[in-house]
Structure 1
Amino acid sequence: MKRWTWGILMLVVGVPVTAAWAVKKDEKLYVKARNTRVLKSAVPTADVVAVLQPGQQVTWKGADPKNAQWHQVTEPGGKPGYVFQTNLSTKPPNMELVAKDGQTRSIDPATFVSSGAAVKALSPGAEKYGNEKGGDYKVAVAQIKTLEGLALKVTPAEIDKHVKQAGLFPVVAPNTKLGPQAKKGGK
């Protein structure tokens, strides 16, 4: 049976299909999330081997046999580690097109992500359109602008605190760094 047929069959029976279905051992995958941590073992509290950015390639070594959400990879510097499956893609991130002074150019995805433009909800053109259209469009523009203002006030430390209080998976800590991670209680 062809690989894509198996993928469809797995989706029908409720098994999640990941990037691993489309690659073979030692093939390349792309990092798709900012500050993706390559960890020493397949647990979220493991020591960090490397921190990667969108578009960087890793060599796929297979899903962890005990927890298929974690995938063993070799990072660009040659160090082995584990990455959470949702941070990997079989395709490189699309190059973003930016209009400036009537010209269009493509930029590096990592540059785009770190610029803050990736999280901005309204472009100046969309804002102008909504305001000129009036009615509910104008109200929506005002609401989005208010939310953008609030989002700018939230710090990484506040996000980290919320993630811990809510018991969420800590994707990026406010002090992500290489090496051993702080243990509970700051020790």
Structure 2
Amino acid sequence: MAEMEDTYNKGGFVAFIFSIVFSLVFFIYIAFIHPGVDLKEVPAEASAAAGEMGASDKSQDTVDVSAIADPWNPSDDMVNHGAAVYKMNCAMCHGDTGKGDGPGAAVTPKPRNFVDEKFKYGGTSIDIYKTIAAGVPDTSMAAFKHIPSKDRWGLVQFIRSITADKHADDKAALEAFAKTAE
């Protein structure tokens, strides 16, 4: 009979044992010896900066929109609330000032410039609301149905406050639409 070959891999076995020993030593060090991370350790500069940022964000949106019965009617409260909603949801593409120059402006077609350009799909409050809710097909403008209705009306008020392309609203049609808008 032919002699059987030894297929034992000493190098692989040594590497395996080394990795097991290293893992155990590392686990013991982390679990029992290492002092850990102090989560309360925050440099004073960072906490001061965070406090300033939090204060500026809170002052911008202090409106309780649930108390506003008719958010489709222009008001300073709704414009301010809309500015805060815009900053969270729209500024990425349309830019902080609404000129279509946000960090996401490289998409094709380019995001709309609310300040200087004319509205393609109508500039009345109803048209802007419908555009926000349903988006624009074949563009990067997604539907924002997940945003509550009063927040969408705030966006409408904010966009109408910064645009040069003003369109008159039919008050009766606006009120009838607003009461059925979801």
Q: Which structure has the larger Rg over C-alpha atoms?
A: 2
TM-score (norm 2): 0.23
Give the strand-richer structure, 1 or 2.
1
TM-score (norm 1): 0.23
